[in-house]
Structure 1
Amino acid sequence: MDTRGAAGPPMSLEGIDHALRRRTEERDRVGGDLLDLDAHSTHRLLTGMTPTGETGRRWDAARAASVTLWWLFDAYRRVLDQAFELRAAGKPDLGALTALLTGPSVDLKPGDVPVEKRSLLRAAGEWVTLDAALARMDRAYREVAETVAAVDEAWGALLPVLDAADAGRRAALDLASGLGAPDPDLDRLGTTLDRLRAAVSADPLGAVSRRPEMDAAAAAVASRRAALERAAGIREEYDGRARRLGERIDEVAAAEREARRVRDTVVVKIAAPALPALPDQAAALRDRLAALAAVRGRWLELAERLADLERGVEDALTRTGVITESIAGLIGRRDELRGRLTAYQAKAARLGRAEDLALAGLYGKARDLLWTAPCDLRRATVAVAEYQRAIKRIGAAG
């Protein structure tokens, strides 16, 4: 049944020609956009596959919108073809042309739609204007384009992560092969990456939430590859690094001897010092270095143990240096008190109190404590402070 309404007053021939030019431009633009959309690589991929999950749901709706879009475009184009036929007549019917270009002239026949999509419009069909048809095409186009763009963005964000991880894993497998040992960790990571790639391929929109898992797998691959690179490096560098490590252990032994020497000095010069336990790690470090020879050839294990031993040696050197400095600090504290006592004695002389018996007594007490071995630092500190306060009182009194 024809449900078209009446058109408005006839347009002029000039107006008809202007409208035909505008509608032709619209038709060409829309047609070009539709072809570009169909040619889009992601659109072609989606068309050739059966996506699942969130992507499948979105694509089903977009595919239905695409059918509607082409259906509307064909109906729109038929009206323009009719209009051009009328315009080409010797004496064009302006009323009929006006009705086609401005009235509800687009016949949306349900029978033209594939059976599974006919529920998109009223079963009885309808007549709409060219503008209304264009608006519907725009809505349908946006739905399809937004879905294609979302999938394209998801693939663009996720696939490079997996590609880089796969490339890293292949490089790591080559390293493992060169070291002559299978690597179960790389096999496990390969299974994980294959599973993630299958998820991204089938449902990129749903797989976006799994980005942290992909990043973790990529980081694990990078870590394993780095470990294998270190192992390959150890195979080439082991002798030199072991020799240097032995030299550093000798430095640890020398530092520990110095710590004992300083401790012995302090025990003689400082009374009842509170000393930290002396480090004694050099022998154990040498044993660990010797034990590395037993795992030579198991390069991954050797790389880990060698790196751990190198850290242990550096830690031992640092710790021994800190302990030595702490012990030597007691001698420094005594020397600092001696210097302070001498400075305040000079101040007493400037105040004209060099012969003051009370001050001389305080000075003598502090000096005896500081220049007697072993020095009682606690009592010496108190004595110097008493001498200092006495001089300050004299200075304040004028």
Structure 2
Amino acid sequence: MGVPGPFPGSPGRPDAPAPDREEVDRALERLGAEYEAIETSLLALQDHAGRRLLEGAELSGTTKERWAEAERSITVLWSLFDAYTAALESARELRERRRWPSADDLAELTELLNGEGVTVPATDADAETAGGGPKGGDPEGGPARPGERFSLEGLVARINGLYARSLDVIVAADSVWSALPARIDLLSAELQRTRSLAHSVGVRPGEHPAGDDLERITEELSRLRARVIADPLAFWVSSSTGSSAPGGGRPDTGRYDRAARALEDIRREVAAVLDVRQDAERRLMQLRDVLSRADRTLTEARQARGEVLAKIAASEVPAVSGPSTALHEQLAAAADYRRRAQWHRLSPLLDSLEERAEDELHRARESLTAVTAPLAVRAELRGRLDAYRAKAARHGVAEDPLLTERYDIARRMLWSAPCDLRAAEQAVWRYQQAAAEALVPLQREGREES
């Protein structure tokens, strides 16, 4: 809705000449167009879906207060529009008396169209707002006082202000009702599906934290929906740009978004439990296999330790622990959970067991490596001794008395039990040195011949 502009001869321009017939006709045409726009807007406001919802709803809080004020404003709007209509009709009747209006007619028309000759009648809404309406503030937005006089231009400005305030309440409430209840209902339906799946795998209130969370989300959505229906304006965030356009803002979906995120977390947790139900037997078999390998490795380590103690002298061999009783007990508990279909308990237990079983196998392998280290050293010394013996044989010095003596000493140390690794290593080193010295003359002769 717009505001008509002044024309020559209007109040506020005392020096301007009186308007002629064409100017009066143009002013009446402009005011008539304004009348049509106001009427169309008021009828649209009357038929607005948000207004009908507000009229039929049991409101509370902010919405109840603002809608009561908006209803009073709408009543005043129609009263102002009636006054505007009456003034415009009076001006039209005066203009239609003569085809060529006299100077007195033009002066009277000027006063009707531009003077503050429109008196606002009293309404029931005026009595209600007299004690509780806005005090001060925007003169164009507040209700008119009974008996207050306006020009047609001022009357349109007042209508525009009241219309914008009333429409803002209606549009904001309608926007919240259009956005949130449907989304809450969809989320509630998803919640019911998730709850059914959760119950199928034993995720229930009092038995699993996710079951308790589902109950809390259910209660939160119920409270949220009731609050949105009763007080939609409590969930309206005005535009941060400072726009004065009706409905400038957006619904506040913070509580809904938090509930949706919490439900998504639970849905993923329930999906993980469902995966456990499908893969439980396979994972249990893998766990048994890992623990069996760990037990066999520990058995091998204990046997190797006995061999090392018997065959290697003066060697510190670490002790080897037995299999983990706790892991085997938990594996038995996991199998029992599977038999009883207690998937919500089986899921975290399997996750923990898989990690600890791998750790147990790693520990067993480290124990085997640690206890067999002396045997590995002995094997390395044996290999080194045989390699130097073969090298000496290729050069024809293997039967050298010194080499033969040192080889026999080293071999007896390495192939007898218990083996003193330090002494054996020294014996191998001495054989290596003797072999190197025996090869020097041969290498010198080879260089001289070349």
Does the alignment pair 1:25 with 2:33?
A: yes
Whether contact under 8 Å (1:231, 1:303) holds in the other structure is yes
CA shift, 1:181, in A, is 8.5
Write the distance in 1 (CA, Å) between the matches of 2:26 and 2:160: 22
Write the distance in 2 (CA, Å) between the matches of 1:106 and 1:112: 19
Q: What residue identity is the alignment partner of 2:145?
A: R
Whether contact under 8 Å (1:252, 1:313) holds in the other structure is no
Write the distance in 2 (CA, Å) between the matches of 1:53 and 1:374: 95
Write the distance in 1 (CA, Å) between the matches of 2:154 and 2:297: 90
Larger-gyration structure (1/2): 2
Whether contact under 8 Å (1:162, 1:197) holds in the other structure is yes
Write the distance in 2 (CA, Å) between the matches of 1:181 and 1:252: 34
CA shift, 1:289, in A, is 2.9
- TM-aligned CA distance change 1:298 to 1:57, over 3 Å: farther
Matches within 5 A, 1:310-321: 310-314=351-355, 316-317=357-358, 321=362
Match of 1:53 in 2: 61
Write the distance in 2 (CA, Å) between the matches of 1:62 and 1:279: 82
Q: SS where residue 110 of structure 1 aligns?
A: coil
Does the alignment pair 1:194 with 2:242?
A: no
Match of 2:232 in 1: 204
Q: Which moved more, 1:257-266 or 1:160-169?
A: 257-266
Whether contact under 8 Å (2:191, 2:263) holds in the other structure is yes
Matches within 5 A, 1:152-301: 152-155=174-177, 158-159=180-181, 162-176=184-198, 185=212, 186-206=214-234, 214-250=256-292, 284-296=326-338, 299=341, 301=342
CA shift, 1:278, in A, is 8.3
Write the distance in 2 (CA, Å) between the matches of 1:327 and 1:75: 103
Match of 1:387 in 2: none
Does the alignment pair 1:73 with 2:81?
A: yes
Q: What residue identity is the alignment partner of 2:107?
A: G
Q: SS where residue 58 of structure 2 aligns?
A: coil
Matches within 5 A, 1:88-103: 88-91=96-99, 92=101, 93-103=105-115
Whether contact under 8 Å (1:10, 1:94) holds in the other structure is yes
Structure 2 residue runs without a partner (length 5+): 1-9, 132-142, 207-211, 238-251, 378-420, 426-450
Structure having the higher helix fraction is: 1
Does the alignment pair 1:106 with 2:129?
A: no
Q: What residue identity is the alignment partner of 1:192?
A: E
Whether contact under 8 Å (2:172, 2:236) holds in the other structure is no
CA shift, 1:14, in A, is 1.0
Q: Which moved more, 1:82-91 or 1:132-141?
A: 82-91
Write the distance in 1 (CA, Å) between the matches of 2:338 and 2:85: 79
Write the distance in 2 (CA, Å) between the matches of 1:90 and 1:297: 103
Q: What residue identity is the alignment partner of 1:95?
A: A
Write the distance in 1 (CA, Å) between the matches of 2:177 and 2:307: 71
Match of 1:122 in 2: 145
Q: SS where residue 28 of structure 2 aligns?
A: helix
CA shift, 1:327, in A, is 11
Q: What residue identity is the alignment partner of 2:196?
A: D
Match of 1:303 in 2: 344
CA shift, 1:108, in A, is 0.5
Write the distance in 1 (CA, Å) between the matches of 2:27 and 2:84: 14
Write the distance in 2 (CA, Å) between the matches of 1:202 and 1:312: 51
Normalising to structure 2: TM-score of the pair?
Answer: 0.57
Write the distance in 2 (CA, Å) between the matches of 1:302 and 1:226: 15
CA shift, 1:179, in A, is 5.8
Q: SS where residue 149 of structure 2 aligns?
A: strand
Residue of 151, 161, 166 corresponding to 2:173: 151
Whether contact under 8 Å (2:337, 2:346) holds in the other structure is no
Whether contact under 8 Å (2:300, 2:368) holds in the other structure is no
Whether contact under 8 Å (2:73, 2:125) holds in the other structure is no
- TM-aligned CA distance change 1:317 to 1:297, over 3 Å: closer
- TM-aligned CA distance change 1:111 to 1:309, over 3 Å: closer
Q: What residue identity is the alignment partner of 1:41?
A: A
Whether contact under 8 Å (1:231, 1:302) holds in the other structure is yes
CA shift, 1:81, in A, is 2.2
- TM-aligned CA distance change 1:262 to 1:214, over 3 Å: farther
Write the distance in 2 (CA, Å) between the matches of 1:265 and 1:30: 106
Whether contact under 8 Å (2:297, 2:364) holds in the other structure is no
Q: What residue identity is the alignment partner of 1:134?
A: V
Whether contact under 8 Å (1:71, 1:112) holds in the other structure is no
CA shift, 1:70, in A, is 2.4
Write the distance in 2 (CA, Å) between the matches of 1:141 and 1:287: 76
CA shift, 1:281, in A, is 7.3
CA shift, 1:302, in A, is 1.8
RMSD: 4.6
- TM-aligned CA distance change 1:243 to 1:272, over 3 Å: closer
Write the distance in 2 (CA, Å) between the matches of 1:55 and 1:30: 26
Whether contact under 8 Å (2:291, 2:361) holds in the other structure is no
Q: What residue identity is the alignment partner of 2:108?
A: A
CA shift, 1:188, in A, is 4.9
Q: Which moved more, 1:68-77 or 1:257-266?
A: 257-266
Write the distance in 1 (CA, Å) between the matches of 2:343 and 2:74: 61
Q: SS where residue 161 of structure 2 aligns?
A: helix
- TM-aligned CA distance change 1:111 to 1:37, over 3 Å: closer
Q: How many residues align?
A: 327
Write the distance in 1 (CA, Å) between the matches of 2:294 and 2:168: 67
Normalising to structure 1: TM-score of the pair?
Answer: 0.64
Matches within 5 A, 1:312-351: 312-314=353-355, 316-317=357-358, 321=362
Q: What residue identity is the alignment partner of 2:121?
A: K
Write the distance in 2 (CA, Å) between the matches of 1:28 and 1:257: 99
Whether contact under 8 Å (1:62, 1:144) holds in the other structure is yes
